[in-house]
Amino acid sequence: MNDSNLVLNTFRRPLPEALAQALRERFGERFSVAQAVRDHHGRDESPFPAAAPDAVVYANDTAEVAEVVRLCRTYKVPLIPFGIGSSLEGALLAVQGGISIDVSGMNRIVAIHPEDLTATVQAGVTRKQLNDALKDTGIFFPIDPGADATLGGMAATRASGTNAVRYGTMRENVLALEVVTAEGKVIQTGTRARKSAAGYDLTRLFVGSEGTLGIFTEITVRLYPQPEAVSAAVVSFDEIAGAVNTVIQTIQVGIPVARCEFLDSATVQALNAYAKTTLREATTLFFEFHGSASGVREQADLVEQIARENGGQDFEWATRPEDRSRLWNARHNAFFALLQIRPGCRGISTDTCVPISRLADSLIGARKILDRASVPTAILGHVGDGNFHAILLIDPDNPDEMAECERLNSEIVSLALSMDGTCTGEHGIGLHKMEFLRDEIGEDGVDLMRRIKEALDPDHIMNPGKIFQC
Amino acid sequence: MNDSNLVLNTFRRPLPEALAQALRERFGERFSVAQAVRDHHGRDESPFPAAAPDAVVYANDTAEVAEVVRLCRTYKVPLIPFGIGSSLEGALLAVQGGISIDVSGMNRIVAIHPEDLTATVQAGVTRKQLNDALKDTGIFFPIDPGADATLGGMAATRASGTNAVRYGTMRENVLALEVVTAEGKVIQTGTRARKSAAGYDLTRLFVGSEGTLGIFTEITVRLYPQPEAVSAAVVSFDEIAGAVNTVIQTIQVGIPVARCEFLDSATVQALNAYAKTTLREATTLFFEFHGSASGVREQADLVEQIARENGGQDFEWATRPEDRSRLWNARHNAFFALLQIRPGCRGISTDTCVPISRLADSLIGARKILDRASVPTAILGHVGDGNFHAILLIDPDNPDEMAECERLNSEIVSLALSMDGTCTGEHGIGLHKMEFLRDEIGEDGVDLMRRIKEALDPDHIMNPGKIFQC
């Protein structure tokens, strides 16, 4: 926390009145300095203290975003894009003040091309909204972080979710972006072609840049045909090792599972209480299989066999769509269910990801580290990718707990880095993983990132103070 | 050609004697200014005139590459990484002189991790060498451009090949790079984790940068389990439209074909002559299916049905491994087979890629444009991705032919761009698609690329004069 407070205290300066005046004239009631509005845009799902922007602008289209950028550039005032506020890493906090530009009203589905398996949406469209629009087309968009996040936010964070083991993350599924640059120009980073070797991969450079290089206004994503058959299964284990080894072997033999999720007994217990599920309160794996009817059966049989060899019990099938919906809704609510264990708490979530063969060492190692915690903890995650989240439920007003959990978090990250893993699989660096990023990629790697930032945003107005210090 | 000749004439200056001296002392016989060696490193598979470097250094390891970079930086001398010389876009030509750094001797397989489905190799390892090393592991590396290219060159060009429709391109399959930066520092762009949200995606920024941002010394790639069952099929059509519509429908319904290649009758004829195949000389599709035994059967049945509905004839199966090898070797040799049609010719290859629904318009449109050519032409390509190559066989000493074919090439590219496609699916921009890149992404997009180049290579020593003019 010290770093961000330092930034807050050092760099924050009042909003220039001339800028406020210009924005008020241009945007009328869509420009706000009301405390409640600022407060709402100064917090997210992270455990970090709120840092409200000086003002909020609600943009309706790309041209408006570009206007706001040009004005902020003139006055060298920070600009933070805001979707629904579901960052887990403080990416939205206005640690250097400035303008929060709310794009949630830019929620138009621009084009759906079922014949090409692509869709183009404005940045404020959420993943559920997109899938609702696709409902009758026989195709779907697979990326599903826990929250019903905006596509803009998901692209900015390089988000993934439960389907990534089969369908990839936003890295693989964003085909092109419309971006407002730090100069207020509007560019298209790519086309709707499935592959391209046309110069630097600007799309992949912007995906995961957390608002620090430009503001996304439109996102073009890949879509997939609904599988002919879908089947889901739940299996529980007495030992964590049995569950994790089931996952490792499933991935290693190349079974194309669509989803493969780990929930420890604490998470299952929280879900039973919050989501009214009746799962056996033990270490549990959720699987989903997509394919032809016979393909799904083959995959499921192989996984069941692997699970049994590793001590899996009570293999249960969810073949009806409504049962599967209940299962995955419960999974998506797991973080919020855990927060209910301790009223008033905030969740610190680790996000390490390791090569699959190291998953057991990494996850069981994390469990041992968590065993020393004085606060409630749990582990869950997208283990098919080698990615899991250790959740530590802290009292945000207790600095000792925060410090203790930061130490444990650091140990878990160090363990993953020692296994050629990453400190973040899908949540991003945001405010508080800057040191981990340096440990992971080295000072020279961070220096390259800093130079790219400097080249594309020389005035440092784009979400400053995130990913690295400039 | 005018652009590159201009560059050649304007910027080329002699190699500083002090640099030559320093390299000679350090590298001995591995530093060469022999004309034959320079000539070999000043040409590639492109139709552009050779442009020899002033000298060649054969590097043996990363530290040596870094030393050469630091020396060239001191003297502000251009540096061009060289693998096996299979660029189709002039990426290797020393249009501003300088040093060609040959990494083909850096051909050590650093690590194979079958348990994680990853391999790390030095940049000079070729795709066939990697797959030979994997032969007994049950896993394989799918990316297969026509040439037996180095992994370094493939990463630099964002290469793909026949398997990309199922397994993706180098964009999706490079997990991490070891890169020597323009300052001579050695960085790792990523880890072996399958996904990451750790800051800017340096891996994807370097993949496809054609040697203009740094020199790759090690490549870490994803591998895949050998499918349980493989089956290949050949089917021919009287009409191009029937073949193309078969492809479009196959992709749209989501059949996970592993390979899906189009060859026009001119290509088939050239293959029969060159590779001694006995294919029916008509528009032809090659398919390959990967999966479980029953999955492969299901896929193949569906595709056969689609093909028959579109006028497909003589559906032939290649189920024996040796028959499949013959088929795909023939396909990989298609470009060279076509070159034999006209002794002494060079091939101009277009490389457009469009959204799949526009493949028929794009390919049949290209065929109509080619019908006006005064030189032999053919069309073949990775149509499952919407990517194909129109080949124009020109006499390199005849400027009229070159000019004529450049005009036709431009028309084919314009057509693809009008369909939200790209001017290059897999060959890169190199020397000669700079105007197409500008048409595709706009001046502001190219300007961002230029600024990134400036930020990472302020002395413009890394393969200057490629992708865009600085």
Distance in Å, alpha carbon of B343 to nearest chain A alpha carbon: 30
Query: Residue A445 is nearest to which of B188, B192, B451, comparing CB atoms?
Result: B188
Nearest of A99, A63, A295, A60 to residue A184 by alpha carbon:
A63
Chain A residues with CB-CB distance to B452 below 8 A: 200, 205, 452, 455-456
From the list A192, A209, A422, the residue facing B196 with the nearest CB is: A422
Across residues B79-108, what is the average pLDDT?
97
Token pair 């493939």: residue: B154
Beta bridge partners of B351: B424
Chain segment A379-421, per-residue pLDDT in tens: 999 999 999 999 999 999 999 999 999 999 999 999 999 999 9
Alpha helices in A319-398 (DSSP H): 321-332, 334-339, 359-370
Per-residue model confidence (pLDDT) at position B11: 63
Residues of B in contact with A198 (CB under 8 A): 422-424, 429, 433, 436-437, 440-441
Residue B72 or residue B320, greater confidence: B72
Task: Indicate the pLDDT class of residue B4, thresholds 50, 70 and 90.
Answer: very low
Query: How far is the alpha carbon of A123 from chain B, nearest alpha carbon, in Å?
Result: 19
Chain A residue numbers with beta carbons less than 8 Å from the beta carbon of B254 are 224-225, 227
Q: Could you tell me what percentage of chain A is helix, strand and coil, using 3-state DSSP and rounding each to the nearest 5? A: 40, 20, 40
Query: What pLDDT, on the 0 to 100 scale, is given for residue B13?
Result: 82
Closest chain B CA to residue A175 = B355
Amino acid letter for position A33: V
Q: Say if the Cβ atoms of A198 and B437 lie within 8 Å.
A: yes
- In angstroms, the separation between the Cα of residue B258 and the nearest Cα of chain A is 14
How much is the average pLDDT of B271-280? 93
Hey, are the CB atoms on A448 and B433 less than 8 Å from each other? no
Q: Is A353 on the interface with B (CB under 8 A)?
A: yes
Residue B399 has phi, psi (to 5 degrees) of: -65, -30
**pLDDT, tens only, B215-241:** 999 999 999 999 999 999 999 999 999
CB contact under 8 A, A456 and B454: no
- CB contact (8 A) between residue A195 and residue B425: yes
Instruction: Provide φ and ψ at A267, rounded to 5°.
Output: -65, -45
Helix, strand, or coil (residue B433): coil
Tell me whether residues B353 and A420 touch, CB distance under 8 A: no
Q: What is the pLDDT of residue A9?
A: 44
Q: Indicate yes or no: CB of B440 within 8 angstroms of CB of A198.
A: yes
Q: Would you tell me which residues 108-137 of chain B have a C-beta closer than 8 angstroms to some C-beta of chain A? A: 113, 115-118
pLDDT at position A314 is 86
A-interface mutation test, from B194, B203, B441, B443, most A Cβ less than 10 A away: B194
Among the partner-chain residues A193, A421, A423, the one whose CB lies closest to the CB of B422 is A193
Contacts of B353 in chain A (CB under 8 A): 193-196
Q: What is the mean pLDDT of residues B183-212?
A: 98
pLDDT at residue A11, as a whole number: 63
Do residue A202 and residue B428 have CB atoms under 8 angstroms apart?
Answer: no
Predicted local confidence at residue A470, as pLDDT: 80
Q: A442 and chain B: CB distance < 8 Å anywhere?
A: yes
Condensed to tens digits (0 to 9), the pLDDT of residues A447-461 reads 999 999 999 999 999
Closest alpha carbon to A414 in A348, A456, A369, A375 = A369
Distance from CA of A29 to the nearest CA of B (A): 33
Judged on CB neighbours under 10 Å (0-12, 13-18, 19+), B36 is exposed
- Show the DSSP H helices in A137-228 as ranges: 151-157, 164-167, 170-173, 202-206
- Of A190, A207, A353, which is closest to B193 when you measure between CB atoms? A353
Sheet of B313-318: strand order equals B313-318, B229-237, B283-291, B259-263, B377-381, B389-394, B346-349
> Which among A192, A194, A452 has CB closest to B200?
A452
- Is A201–B171 a contact, with Cβ atoms under 8 angstroms apart? yes
pLDDT tens for residues B421-459? 999 999 999 998 999 999 999 999 999 999 999 999 999
Residues of chain A predicted below pLDDT 50: 1-9
Q: Report pLDDT digits (tens) over A314-366.
A: 889 888 999 999 999 999 999 999 999 999 999 999 999 999 999 999 999 99
* Cβ atoms of A335 and A378 closer than 8 Å: no
Domains and CATH numbers, chain A: 2-105 (3.30.43.10), 109-225 (3.30.465.10), 229-336 (3.30.70.2190)
Chain A CB contacts of B295 below 8 Å: 291-292, 294-295, 298
A302–chain B Cβ distance below 8 A for any pair? no
CB A299 within 8 A of CB B296: no
Q: Smallest Cβ distance to A441: which of B115, B188, B424?
A: B188
The closest of A207, A280, A209, A245 to A429, measured between CA atoms, is A209
Query: What integer pLDDT is reported at residue B131 of this predicted model?
Result: 98
Query: What pLDDT score was predicted for residue A264?
Result: 98
User: In chain B, pLDDT over 70 holds for what percent of residues?
Assistant: 98
